[in-house]
Amino acid sequence: MQTGITAAPVTYSIKGEQYVAVLAGWGGIWALAPGILSEVAGPVRNVSRLLVYRLGGSAQLPPESPVTRPPLDPPATTGTPEQIAGGGRQYGRFCGGCHGDAAYAGTVLPDLRRSALMADGKAWASVVHDGALRDQGMVGFAKVLSPEQIESIRQYVIKRANDDKALGDK
């Protein structure tokens, strides 16, 4: 399948030939919230498609492309300890369910420790506060987080990225 499966398969036959069809695609909570655990279990790409197998069929899927990620290349940590601690709390409450516990993402959504937006507070706010990527499924959080809290989350993610880089992550 070259990806995860969360849907149930179906089977049917047409003119005596039996088929098994499954909607393949990686998602669900395992690919999101516990990012580090799904990574350790083996990173799985999301490739959304309907796959149909005929019993006795011999066709092969096209070759699989590898999981690629931007490098871990954060700016220096500049947040105060209070800012980072507060940002960590807000991150856990509002962001970690999708972008991964402790800012360590699975393969489906952006790993914020690797996001280029982290280096620029205004660009970060345009997405996290204003909702610049809302059409892609990333809503703005202006109704529930203040600009200061959103900046604290950025400082927390910068700190997390630097911590992991110091541990040897690339």
Distance CA 95, CA 141 (A): 10
Q: In this structure, what token pair is assigned to residue 152? A: 């604290």
Residue from 24, 44, 105, 112 touching ligand HEC (CB under 6 A): that is 112
Residue from 84, 105, 128, 161 touching ligand HEC (CB under 6 A): that is 128
Residue from 69, 97, 120, 148 touching ligand HEC (CB under 6 A): that is 97
Q: In this structure, what token pair is assigned to residue 156? A: 């927390």
Q: In this structure, what token pair is assigned to residue 31? A: 């690919």
Least distance to ligand HEC from the beta carbon of 56, Å? Answer: 39
For 72, what's the count of Cα atoms within 13 Å in the CB-facing half-sphere? Answer: 19
- Residues of span 138-157 touching ligand HEC by CB under 6 A: 138, 141, 153
Is residue 104 at the binding interface for ligand HEC, with CB under 6 A as the rule? no
Distance CA 112, CA 90 (A): 14
Least distance to ligand HEC from the beta carbon of 158, Å? Answer: 12
Contact between residue 111 and residue 105 where contact means Cβ atoms under 8 Å apart: yes
Is residue 115 at the binding interface for ligand HEC, with CB under 6 A as the rule? yes
Residue from 19, 30, 53, 94 touching ligand HEC (CB under 6 A): that is 94
Closest CA to 99 of 48, 154, 144: 154
Tell me which stretch binds ligand HEC (CB under 6 A): 22-30, 39-47, 55-63, 133-141: 133-141
Tell me which stretch binds ligand HEC (CB under 6 A): 2-10, 79-87, 97-105, 161-169: 97-105
Q: How far is CA 132 from the centre of its chain?
A: 18
Task: Give residues with Cβ within 8 angstroms of 118, minimum separation 6.
Answer: 74, 75, 112, 124, 154, 157, 158, 161
Is residue 103 at the binding interface for ligand HEC, with CB under 6 A as the rule? no
Q: In this structure, what token pair is assigned to residue 3? A: 């990806």
Can you give the binding site for ligand HEC, defined by CB under 6 A? Answer: 94-95, 97-99, 109-110, 112, 115-117, 124, 127-128, 133, 136-138, 141, 153
